[in-house]
Amino acid sequence: AFSLFSSTDEDQRDEAQRKEDDIILLLKKAKLSMHRGNLQAASSFFHQAVALAQQTHNKQAIIYTYSQMANLAYIQGHLDSAEKLFKAAMSYMLAGGTPEDDNAVIEMSLKLATIYAEQNKAELAEHGFSFCVESLEGKLEKQTEDVKTEQQEALRKDTHLLLGLCLDSRARYRVSRMDLDMAGQDYRKALDICRQEQGQDHPQTLVLMSDLATILDLQGRHDDALVLIQQAVDLSVSVENPDHHVLVENLAGILLHTGRLDDSARFYQEALDRARQAGDQAALERIQDGLEELRKRRSQAMKDEQD
């Protein structure tokens, strides 16, 4: 709840509470609409909620609603609107005394950097990612020194994981610009963080292992890539990871690039069967593309033998 009301008048407090309850109800309806895929209805509920929050000067509700509206705009591909809404939410937070390195501010800054990356605003994107990473690294140095209570330890862990998320996001951006060396450095740091905080066999750890293997493969370091992706696949089996087919797909692709066509075909077939069971259409399309490349490689190999 956003309880910021201090009037001693009973009627005013009751009215304020009713309006606060109305805001919460509208937000719940908006979230439910988003869950059901009815984005237009969600947008309408959010607009009603923020209008009521502004009428009652409920800053916490305004910040929360703006951030949710920004997320919705981002999902819809309305990047300019998402940027303005994130900035509005951050302005309210900073004006209210929230520190620049507060995790909530960093999360919004990361989303802004991601938006700039998608808009091909390279300078703004790089600056945004660097701000997030450097702010969190500095904050963690202080938190490590000050850790005393369970609450402080929980905050340190959240901050460390957020740093991992920022590094992961920056790595993906750098891959899109084919800056593979820097991307690999970010992925390694993100992977180390995830292993420390989430464990060796956590789903996100396995994804980062797979992503780093992809970088190694692109750099021509196929043997190193195979070792890493095989580790990820083996760990994925042991924990019954629901996204196991994605890791197997990557393993098949790396084997293809090394020329081990029969092994590649075997793992592509496994990935295809598992993706069908999971109903993962995006993975199915990628696997079909991989199988097509495999067919071309085999055809070329047969042609070379005949020549």
Apex 275 CA angle, 270 and 281, nearest 5: 145
Band (9; pLDDT cuts 50, 70, 90)? low
Could you tell me the sign of the dihedral formed by the alpha carbons of 164, 165, 167, 171, in that order? positive
Residue 230, C-beta contacts closer than 8 angstroms, at least 6 positions apart:
251
Average pLDDT, the chain: 91
Q: How far apart are CA 158 and CA 155, in angstroms?
A: 5
Q: How far apart are CA 209 and CA 192, in angstroms?
A: 10
Q: Which two tokens stand for residue 231?
A: 């580790």
pLDDT number for residue 1? 42
pLDDT number for residue 192? 97
Determine whether 146 is exposed, middle or buried from the number of CB atoms within 10 Å of its CB (0-12, 13-18, 19+). Answer: exposed
Q: Over 90: is that where the pLDDT of 253 sits?
A: yes
Q: What is the mean pLDDT of residues 275-295?
A: 94
List, for residues 55-70, the tens digit of each pLDDT value.
Answer: 989 999 999 999 999 9
Fold of 16-98: 1.25.40
Cα 175 to Cα 191, 240, 256, distances in angstroms: 16, 29, 21
Mean pLDDT lowest among 120-134, 164-178, 232-246: 232-246
Nearest Cα neighbor of 185 from 216, 154, 229 is 216
Instruction: Name the percent of the chain lying above pLDDT 70.
Output: 94
Determine whether 58 is exposed, middle or buried from the number of CB atoms within 10 Å of its CB (0-12, 13-18, 19+). Answer: buried
pLDDT number for residue 238? 85
List, for residues 146-170, the tens digit of each pLDDT value.
Answer: 657 888 888 899 999 999 999 999 9
> In 3-state terms, what secondary structure has residue 58?
coil
- Chain centroid to CA 192: how far? 17
Q: How far apart are CA 3 and CA 21, in angstroms?
A: 10
List, for residues 122-137, the tens digit of each pLDDT value.
Answer: 999 999 999 999 999 9
pLDDT number for residue 15? 76
Which ranges of 96-221 does DSSP label H, i.e. alpha helix?
103-118, 122-146, 150-176, 180-198, 203-218
Which DSSP letter does residue 91 get?
Answer: H
HSE (CB half, 13 Å, CA atoms) of 170? 30
pTM score, two decimals? 0.87
Q: What is the mean pLDDT of residues 273-297?
A: 93
Q: What is the mean pLDDT of residues 210-231?
A: 95
Higher-scoring residue by pLDDT: 80, 145 = 80
Q: Over 50: is that where the pLDDT of 117 sits?
A: yes
Q: Over 60: is that where the pLDDT of 4 sits?
A: no
Band (302; pLDDT cuts 50, 70, 90)? confident
CATH of span 221-307: 1.25.40
Mean pLDDT lowest among 90-94, 186-190, 296-300: 296-300
List, for residues 14-39, the tens digit of each pLDDT value.
Answer: 777 888 899 999 999 999 999 999 99
Q: What is the mean pLDDT of residues 227-241?
A: 92
Q: Which two tokens stand for residue 15?
A: 């009215």
pLDDT number for residue 228? 97
* Residues making up the chain, counted from first to last: 307
Q: How far apart are CA 4 and CA 57, in angstroms?
A: 9
pLDDT number for residue 301? 78
Asked whether the domain spanning 221-307 has the same topology as the one spanning 16-98, the reply is yes
> In 3-state terms, what secondary structure has residue 268?
helix
Domain definitions of the chain by residue range:
16-98, 110-198, 221-307
Q: What is the mean pLDDT of residues 252-261?
A: 94
Q: How far apart are CA 58 and CA 60, in angstroms?
A: 6
